[in-house]
Amino acid sequence: MTTDSNSPARETTTRRITLANGLRVLLRPHPGRATLGVGVHYGVGFRTEPPGRAGFAHLFEHLMFHRGEDAETTSHVGEIERAGGTADGSTHQDHTEYHQHVPPEALDLVLRLEADRMRGPRITETVLRGQVDVVKEEIRLRVLNRPYGGFPWPLLPAVLYRTFPNAHDGYGCFEDLEKVTPQDASDFFDAYYTPGNAVLTLAGRFDPGQAADLVHRHFGDLPPRDAVPAGPLDEPPPEAAIRAHHEARIPAAPAVAIGYRAPDPGRHLERYLAHVVLQDLLTRGPVARLRRRLDDQGAWVHALDSGCGFFGPLDARHPDTLLLTAVHEPAVEADRVIDALDAELLDLADRGPSDAELARAITVRAAGVHRDHDPVAAQARAVGRLEILFGDGTLLDRLPKSFGEVSAEQVAAAAESLRRAPRAVLTHGPTRQGSPRPSRRHDVPLWREPVDRRLPGGLRVVAVPDRSAPLVELRLHLPNEIAGPADAARAELLCRTVLGGAGGPVAQAAETAFGDSGGALRARREREWIVFSGHARSDHLTTLLRVLAEAVADPDGDRYGRVAAERGRVAALAEAGQTMPGRVGQALLYERFFGERALLLAPPRPADLRTVTTDDVLRYHRSVIRPQSATLVMVGDLPPGRMVAAAETALAGWAPSPRPATAPPDGRPPAEPGIEIAAGRTGAEQSHIALLAAGVGLTDPGGPAGRLADLLVGGRPSAPLATAVRERRGLAYHVSTAVDVVLGRPIVQIQAATATATTAETLHAIRELLERAVAEPPAAGEIAEARRYAVGELYRACDSQASLATWLSHMLRCGHDTTRLERLPASLADTPADDVIRMIGELFRPERFTGVVECDPEALAGPPAGLRSSWPARRPDPEAGE
């Protein structure tokens, strides 16, 4: 089958350069964009590291962000943030990537920094030990201290594979990490970080000729060096099925992961893509084959997913893995999931997919390629990855067409190959018994020609044209008007079933309606809001709006016919969520700060979810899904007036209704700040610190100064808070500040996760940093750097259709006006330094904060009372406006 799923296409020109030292360079200019993505990929990953060095490639990625002893002045991230951009890195099986998203004028700076990184690290014992501690905290945060930590990666490879490169834990173990020396790091760099083992990719707003000159200037003098050849990775497949069990460290619903060897994408791309489409048919979407079969059998699964590659398709060389994961009810044996999978594979192998379902799967996958790589930073990363792994970065441009050429026969062959292939099964659960800095301000608008209109029924529609991809993104948000705990459960079930839930006639009708549009629509509860998010090809906007209109306007019992089937599944997920680190502490913090209104933020209780009926959800829908309280945001490849007109036609039947008679809860905040202890899970590896204080809205008077104050204290990775707590002392993997609007109130929040034994030390370090920030105002140069970062942050948020729609919807929910939002770059750039300094003093005095520490009190280094007394009490300050 060949479809037109990739049309209308966008022509992208890629210029390829190879320097004398072997460095490959790919240039993808997009003159209409406002930002620039830069990626550097090295052909080394955690499958390169030898036995005894588990986790070294990941640790080395951290080390490559440091160029000396002083973490504040030599941080790569800090340089980029001062230029108005972001920088990060990640380690994968066969490659390591470093990527930046910056204003165009920062190109020279980025290239200089990346060339400096390629010249060689300057890693001291102090920097090394600090980053070892940071990586250990990352492992605690992502693996040891959360439900399903390490499942399915890195646990499943140890079952499916036998050789060390393929089977070991790429995160690493503490013992191996502690043994690393600066000389080990130097040797690793010499072996693998060579120009000939690297790819440099640029995508976005730049002049190709100027960029080529800068590349030659910065990278041309690097001497060529031979990289150590990659060792063999291929190994014989298992001779028979392999099964293993992993005991859950933290109680949660049981889960099963099933792993197969995927075809070699470098030699048999068409077979690989057929396997990608096959896993989409099995698990993608609410009416996917495997989901329907399990539901029909009463084998309730809470979460179902599959994919080619542990980190996504085309992310590793051969051997790669096709995996399927399911979180299921304790009463459902893992073998029932496996049997259902085998039945679907047999059916697909015998009969193949229908033309309609194959066309739908191909269209959705192809549209996803467009959507996922619309941001220029994502393009740079994907093109560089495909080039370093398969020698063909432009494969990205051909993927939509290649997916469109996948045939039913190829999918059937893929299903047959999985049926016959030995696989690995991993169950998870309880043990079974038995530089130069650019200064030019952006002159590119955040968006062009927006239309902001109130329709006759009261619905506000904001439409923004954006021709970067042949799609339209849609976001509809409404206030989640909760009067009691039962309403939280009704709101959650509404979001889960308003579009039909997992299967059923309503979901099937929606899938059929989207057909060849490549579209999707989902609903979810986001704090105090209900949000519908969707996208479709721009020539199918009317279909997307029609499905939305059917969901919101005049519902009936048929629409919510899946409530009884879904409530048990959602309740089980809610129970699992109760064990997530920080959940107990965050709930107590909201209660202390917002009083009774914290009810609007609380997740639904499992017991309430299990008693919700179809009539409950139907009544709740009619009381809260009202056009006069809703805002629809559309961003896409159409004139804004045409988008608004389409919305007005499609939603004409959505009639206004009176607001619920029940008054919202009282919002009086507590009288006094201070620190409280929330008893978390016994034996928890980490404590979670959360602090909250009143803030200032971004577009309110003083708002731009407040945002800059946040960036100067802790609102970015290179800010003093992260430098002091993470980089210098290794106390936490994640520590940051943030400004936001919650329940209509601007807030400042500080969060950190640290080992339980260092809780008091971390809390003291945060207090010490805040006191120093207030007492020692930042220099003019630091404030200028924060301005550049803040302006760059805005353009990154508006870089793609999806990110712009999400950001704009969020800003409107926070009460910000579109006109003021358009002026934000200028407002941030022109904010006087004195206003910023004053706002640091107003917002970040420690005694303003209400705080909660969630921990295992028995594992603290000292008595819990010591934590409470370590935080200062409030001092009277009539100017603070609290």
- pLDDT tens across 441-453, in order? 445 677 778 899 9
Q: Give the model confidence (pLDDT) of 777-803 as tens digits.
A: 999 989 998 998 998 888 888 889 999
pLDDT digits (tens, 9 = 90+) for 510-565: 887 787 778 899 999 998 999 999 999 999 999 999 999 999 997 887 888 889 88
Residues 486, 332: contact at Cβ < 8 Å?
A: no
- At 36-66, the pLDDT tens digits run 999 999 999 999 998 988 999 999 999 998 7
Side chain identity, residue 316: A
pLDDT of residue 444: 67
Which residues make beta-bridge pairs with 531? 477, 524
Percent of the chain exceeding pLDDT 70 equals: 93
H or E stretch at 40: strand 36-42
DSSP string, 95-115: -EEEEEEE-GGGHHHHHHHHH
Answer whether 54's CB lies under 8 Å from 168's CB: yes
Higher-confidence residue: 438 or 817?
Answer: 817
Per the document, the length of the chain is 882
Least confident of 131-135, 190-194, 723-727: 723-727
Closest to 691 measured CA to CA, from 768, 741, 742, 752: 752
Residues 665 and 667: their CA atoms lie apart, in Å, by 6
pTM above 0.95, yes or no: no
Task: Quote the radius of gyration of the chain (alpha carbons, Å).
Answer: 27
Please, which residues bridge with residue 322 across strands? 260, 308
Work out whether strand 198-204 and strand 24-29 pair parallel, antiparallel, or are unpaired.
parallel
Q: CB neighbours of 704 closer than 8 A, spacing ≥ 6?
A: 698, 790, 824, 827, 828, 831
DSSP helix/strand/coil, 91: strand
- What confidence score (pLDDT) does residue 440 get? 42
How far, in Å, CA of 417 to CA of 192, rounded? 36
Alpha helices in 152-223 (DSSP H): 157-160, 164-167, 174-178, 182-192, 208-219
Q: Is the pLDDT of residue 818 over 60?
A: yes
For residue 279, give the nearest of 325, 228, 332, 232 by alpha carbon: 325
Terminal CA-CA length for the chain? 65
Q: Which of 339, 345, 351 is nearest to 289 (CA)?
A: 345
For residue 868, pLDDT beyond 80: no
Tens digits of residue pLDDT in 111-128: 999 999 999 888 889 889
Q: What is the mean pLDDT of the chain?
A: 89
Give the bridge partners for 655, in sequence order.
Answer: none
Three-class DSSP category at 417: helix
Which residue type sits at 632? L
Phi, psi of 840, deg, nearest 5? -60, -45
Quickly count: other Cβ atoms within 10 Å of residue 232's Cβ.
8
70: confidence class by pLDDT, cuts 50, 70, 90: very low
**135: which 2 tokens?**
């990586």
More confident residue, 511 or 704: 704
Closest CA to 439 of 828, 83, 87: 83
Q: Please tell me the predicted confidence (pLDDT) of residue 480.
A: 86
Q: What is the DSSP letter of 769?
A: H
- Nearest CA to 617 among 563, 657, 553? 563
What does the pLDDT look like over 407-419, one tens digit per residue?
A: 999 999 999 999 9
* Residues in CB range of 525: below 8 A, 6 or more apart: 480, 491, 492, 495, 531
Residue 240's identity, in one-letter code, is A
What SS3 class is residue 687? strand
Tokens 């360079």, residue? 25
Give all strands (DSSP E) within 575-639, no chain letters.
631-636
Q: How far apart are CA 189 and CA 59, in angstroms?
A: 12
Give the CA-trace dihedral at 255, 258, 259, 262, to 10 degrees: -120
437 has a pLDDT exceeding 50:
no
